Amino acid sequence: MARRNETTIIKKYANRRLYNTGTSMYVTLENLAAMVKGNEDFVVQDAKTGEDITHSVLTQIIFEQENKTGQNLMPITFLRQLIRFYGDQMQMVIPAYLEQSMTAFSHEQERFRTNPAEAVAQTTRLMEDQVRRNTELFRQAMSVFNPFLANAMGDQPAGGAKAPAAASAPGASGTAARSDDLALMREQLAEMQKKIEALGASKS
């Protein structure tokens, strides 16, 4: 069995069987779900090509869990909204947005579990804080694609002055503004990734 600080390699064969190289045993998706819940890190590889197929296998695990009675975590509304983002210009922002949201929720969840007496109040605070964080993150993302919408959502610098509308400049200024927006988007995504990695490192 692999140690907790090691990454277990799971081999997936053509017959769809999964082989745990750490325990030298065949496993099921249910076994892998238990490993995830037990914070055991693993990578799934195609036994023939060595390709990393962890993403698709984890998706299959979620599909199986969602099909169990009483275990639906993803509302239909959320699923519809998620599907709409595929192929959309916001698609590149969604993964980091969801990852940061889940990381923050997991962090708050531990505090919630250690204070059962404050369950109701903690739940309310958690929801309010998460809404604020998500709104701010979404506002920052939208400021790249639509400065006017960002201003409407409260994107103002210190002192109360309204941020200048980048799209208002004519001609070459408009082109420069769009270039600046792309540069800002890259910087924000890089900063977001750093924060996510820092949160992940602190929890490990």
Average pLDDT of the chain is 74
More confident residue, 11 or 110: 11
Selection from 13, 8, 50, 15 nearest residue 31 by Cα? 8
Q: What is the pLDDT of residues 55-66, one digit of tens each?
A: 999 999 999 999
Paired tokens of 149: 């919408």
More confident residue, 132 or 73: 73
Contact 137, 100 (CB under 8 A): yes
pLDDT of residue 31: 96
The values of phi and psi at residue 42, to 5°, are -150, 155
What residue segments make up the domains of the chain, in order of their start? 1-73, 74-204
User: Distances in Å between the alpha carbon of 154 and those of 105, 142, 166, 179, 184?
Assistant: 24, 12, 16, 23, 18
Residue 88 pLDDT > 70? yes
Q: Please, where are the H alpha helices in the chain?
A: 29-37, 54-66, 76-85, 94-113, 119-145, 147-152, 172-203
Give the Cβ contact number of residue 150 at 10 Å: 21
For residue 101, give the 3-state DSSP assignment: helix
